Copies of this chain bind each other. A is one copy, B any other.
Amino acid sequence: MSDHDSRIDLVALANAIALPDAQWRAAAFARQARLTKPAGSLGQLEELSAWLCEVTESCPPRPLDRVRVVVFAGDHGIARTAATSAYPPEVTAQMVLNFIAGGAAVNTLAELNGASVRVVDMAVDSDLAYLGEHAETVAAFKVRRASGSIDREDALTYAEALAAFDAGRTIADQEIDAGVDLLIPGDMGIGNTTPAAALTALLTHTELALVVGRGTGIDDATWMRKTAAVRDATRRGRNRLADPIDLLAAVGGADLAAMTGFIFEAAVRRTPVLLDGVVSNAAALVANQLNYRAKLWWHASHQSTEPAARAALEYLDLAPLIDLELRLGEGTGALIALPLLRAAATTLTNMSTFDEAGVSDREAND
């Protein structure tokens, strides 16, 4: 059971996040109307540019020069006990090393789009030796080796869940204090779509068949094992909804708890977040339980093929920018969509107005 002596102060968290100032939104649309283009012709990018003004508290918006992806890595007991993934759990640690070496998808996409990557081992099922000289930096916040198998036991103790949540907040603070303009939460963990599906089912009241997906590409038999695991996890979790930290302890994991703290703290610090796929969408659902204003500081990037991602984004009323059947994780979907944010920003910032360019506005037609 959870440790009630160290419970989080839910009331304080519920008051920690400000609403964006509406003046920036109004200023964005007023500026859009003066740019040399048909009114409304940039479609969803106009709404996006207004959001950027809100969350950077500036019109035109502050540029998104410094973008940081933080990949939260962790193993999940369910991947070993129920074999819910197409890949063996050893891959999590191997991929952490791949991130450090710069060979993963998230690295190449960050390089392409002017972002940087940090990887954090929250609960990889290895001792620290696998990280070599990087252990001190990468595993500074490590909570344990693998979260528990959520079909039968808590993923974490309450103290561990709180430590992981606080680690995520601390990491966000570090990045924001270093001057980041936008944060992207990334995930790496064999089996991590299983707790993501359980959290999504519990928080969006969605039936299991509509939240359990194919993850890394599982076959029918594995999907049935995964669905049974999610069923058992949701039965264990449905009495643990009162405290989101306790819910993370029950059916989440250290990586999910840290990601939840990370995107929560970004909102506290008025720093925009570009969500990635199903794991970050599930973390967003949990953080939304802590404070409904948090999501105003986040934007969805893409529609993952994982069904829980759709359920989560619909529940949060966050609209994805692209739908390219991505399901890689690591923050890759957000990095792929990042240039669309910059496109929205640059048009609002750098286009000429009708007056500046000597172009007739539509009224001239009357």
Measured CB to CB, the residues of A under 8 A from B are: 35-45, 83, 85-88, 90-91, 94-95, 97-98, 101, 103-105, 107-109, 111-113, 215-217, 305, 321-329, 332, 335-336, 339-340, 342-343, 346-347, 349-352, 356-362, 364-365
Copy total for this chain: 2
Instruction: Give, as a whole number of angstroms, the nearest-CB distance from A52 to chain B.
Output: 14
Contacts of A217 in B (CB 8 A): 38-41, 362
Contacts of A342 in B (CB 8 A): 112
Instruction: Give, as a whole number of angstroms, the nearest-CB distance from A184 to chain B.
Output: 14
Alpha-carbon distance A216/B359, docked complex (angstroms): 15
Instruction: Give, as a whole number of angstroms, the nearest-CB distance from A319 to chain B.
Output: 10
Q: Which of B38, B108, B305, B357 is within 8 Å of A216, CB to CB?
A: B38
Known: A95-B36, A324-B45, A326-B45. A105 touches B362 (CB 8 A): no
Alpha-carbon distance A117/B232, docked complex (angstroms): 58
Contacts of A335 in B (CB 8 A): 343
Alpha-carbon distance A146/B41, docked complex (angstroms): 24
Contacts of A104 in B (CB 8 A): 36-37, 351-352, 357
Known: A108-B351, A358-B94. A321 touches B324 (CB 8 A): yes
Contacts of A88 in B (CB 8 A): 360, 364-365
Contacts of A36 in B (CB 8 A): 95, 98, 103-105
Alpha-carbon distance A202/B328, docked complex (angstroms): 42
Contacts of A322 in B (CB 8 A): 321-322, 340
| 26 contacts across the A-B interface (CB closer than 8 A) | A35-B105, A38-B87, A38-B327, A39-B217, A41-B327, A42-B328, A42-B332, A43-B324, A43-B326, A44-B324, A44-B325, A83-B365, A86-B362, A87-B361, A88-B360, A90-B360, A91-B360, A94-B360, A97-B358, A103-B351, A104-B352, A105-B351, A107-B350, A111-B346, A112-B343, A336-B339
Contacts of A365 in B (CB 8 A): 83, 85-88
Instruction: Give, as a whole number of angstroms, the nearest-CB distance from A71 to chain B.
Output: 13
Contacts of A356 in B (CB 8 A): 103
Alpha-carbon distance A43/B103, docked complex (angstroms): 19
B109 touches A347 (CB 8 A): yes
Q: Which of B327, B336, B359 is within 8 Å of A340, CB to CB?
A: B336
